[in-house]
Structures are given as C-alpha cells and as structure tokens.
A and B are shown apart, each in its own frame.
Chain A
Amino acid sequence: MSDSETQQCKAWFSQAVDDCMSSLYAMAMRLTNNSADAEDLVAEAVTKAWKSLHLLQQRERFRPWIYAIQRNLFISQYRKKRARPDTSSYDSLSEGCSGGEIAALLIEQPDDFLSWWANPEETFVNGLLGEEIVRALEALPEAFRETVILVNLEGLAYDEAAEALGVSPGTIRSRMNRGRTLLQKQLWLHAIDAGLVSQDRLMESSR
C-alpha cells in the first residue's frame, strides 16, 4: 500500500471509529462496569481493528466487526476482573423456538400482567423512565442482555448483532424472544414495587 493509500485508509478508519465511539464506550462500560477498564478496552479494540483491517471484507460491516473484536478482547482479557458472574449458557433456544417453547414463554407471564397489558392505553410502561428500563435490562442473564442491548440500544440489525456475537441470526431471534419476555416480567414486578400499578387496578385485573 502506498503512503497516500495508507493515509486515505487511516482517514476512513479514524472516521469509522469516531462514528461508533459512543457505542463502543457504552458497550465497554456495560461489560467492565469501570470507566478506566472501559477506556483501555476500547483503545485495545481500536488498535487490534487497525492491525486486522485487511480481514474486514466489507467496510459497511465495520460496526459489528469492531464490536466483535471488542467483545472477544473482553472475554479473553477482562472477564476475570469483572464482578458480575458469567451466565452465558442460555442457548437451549439456539436455533429458533419450537411451538412448545413459545407456548411456555407465553404462559409464564403472570396472569395479572397479561390482563393489564390488554389495556395498552393504560399501560404501565408509560410510567417507567428509560433509565429504569435500562436497569431492568442490565439485570437479565448475559446472553439475553447483550443481544437486547445490541439490537434495541445500539440499533444493530439482527444479522449485524449475529456477527458481533458470533452466533446465527436465528439465535438472535430466539434470544430476543426470551430476553424481551424476561424484560417484560422484570418491568411488571418493578412497576408493582414502584407503585405504578395501583392495588385497586391489580385487584380489578385479576378478577
């Protein structure tokens, strides 16, 4: 590569990193729970991405590609330091849900919750703050948490999230089904604790 090509490539790389820096940092913070470690992790991911740039086949896939690099670096170097336990073995739904599994997910919702959400105009979600939902999200088991974060917070398409996490798009769909169901349950319980669902309304909906 000539000097001028290298400079062009570096200018593109610099812009690409800049475009996803906020997301890389947010993801690193969620992984490490520590700003100093998060900064180191992002810096290492950027360095490794530059060194491996010849392996990136399509520049438009830069974002999921560097996410995958950062995540793999975290798993190989940082995980031992992290307080949050690893709970990543949740792939019984790896390639799509069977009818029985879907039915099980549907009926495990509390009855009063099901009755309540049948009234969307009064949905308790209106009373929740984005930060409260993020906290509930962060309490999910790891495999579901990182999938929902990549799709719903970082805006990755399913195939991009699959690339970032090294799984199939079918696995992303399954994890979304499971993760979002768990999230709804967490939010419902939180809404009751926070008094967003009145006792009168609860009694009414359980009749």
Chain B
Amino acid sequence: MTKHDHTDHESGIIDSDCLEAFDHVYAYINGELHDEETRARIEHHLSHCKSCYSRAEMERKINERLKMAEKPSPPEQMKKRLKDLIDGL
C-alpha cells in the first residue's frame, strides 16, 4: 500500500478528501459506515493519504486499548440484590 505524505494538515490547508475522511473515519473504524460508496471512497483515500491513514490506525489502537481496560465489576452483593429484587417483582 503506497501512501503519499500528506503534510497539508499541518499548514492548515486540507483538501476535500481529507475533510470527508475525517468526518467518516470514526464511523468507519467503529463499523458504522454503512453506505458502500462512501466506505469505498474512504478506503481509497486512506490507502493514499498517510496522515488520514495514520489517524485511522491510531483510532484502531485506541479502541483496542479501551477494550482491554478493566471495567468496574458489579459487587456480589449487588448481584444478589438484583436477583432478590427480580424474584420479588
């Protein structure tokens, strides 16, 4: 996959493909970009724009880390409380 170095982001001059990619990249990474034509355009852009590709990769990595983060577990007493509550409804 060849990506040209898209340094325009840094100078504040951004082309319209980058704008579209930014608007959709989070939905794309989260599997929420359902329009096939838009998805194909975003994938094509990501395969050519290093900055946008890198943003997408970083988002993937952040998502992976978030999935590994520990969630607060419900205490045993709460599980029992809910079971008793539902039994008594």
Contact = CB atoms under 8 A, between A and B. Distances in A.
Interface string B18-57: 1100110011001010000000000000000011011101
Given A102-B19, A106-B9, A42 B78 contact: yes
Contacts of B9: 106-107, 109, 114
Given A152-B66, A158-B30, A184-B58, A107 B72 contact: no
Contacts of A23: 71
Interface stretch (A72-80, A82-90, A117-125, A193-201): A117-125
A65 B68 CA distance: 26
B58 A125 contact: yes
A109 B85 CA distance: 49
A47 interface: yes
Interface in B55-88: 55, 57-59, 61-63, 65-75, 77-79, 81-83, 85-86
A47 B51 contact: no
A14 B86 contact: yes
A17 B86 contact: yes
Given A17-B82, A131-B69, A35 B75 contact: yes
B4 to A, nearest CB: 11
Q: Is the interface of A mostly helix, strand, loop or mixed?
A: helix
B74 A120 contact: no
Contacts of B81: 39, 43
Given A114-B10, A173-B27, A25 B73 contact: yes
A115 interface: yes
A123 B73 contact: no
B86 A180 contact: no
Given A102-B23, A106-B9, A46 B82 contact: yes
Nearest to A155: B67
A140 interface: no
A21 to B, nearest CB: 5
Contacts of B71: 22-23, 26, 153
State the 10 A-B residue pairs at the shortest beta-carbon distance, nearest first. A130-B69, A25-B74, A120-B57, A125-B61, A130-B68, A176-B26, A130-B65, A26-B71, A29-B72, A120-B54
Given A130-B65, A173-B27, 12 more contacts: A23-B71, A102-B22, A105-B22, A106-B14, A106-B18, A111-B10, A125-B62, A130-B67, A131-B70, A152-B30, A183-B62, A184-B58
Interface of B: 5, 7, 9-10, 12, 14, 16, 18-19, 22-23, 26-27, 30, 32, 50-51, 53-55, 57-59, 61-63, 65-75, 77-79, 81-83, 85-86, 89
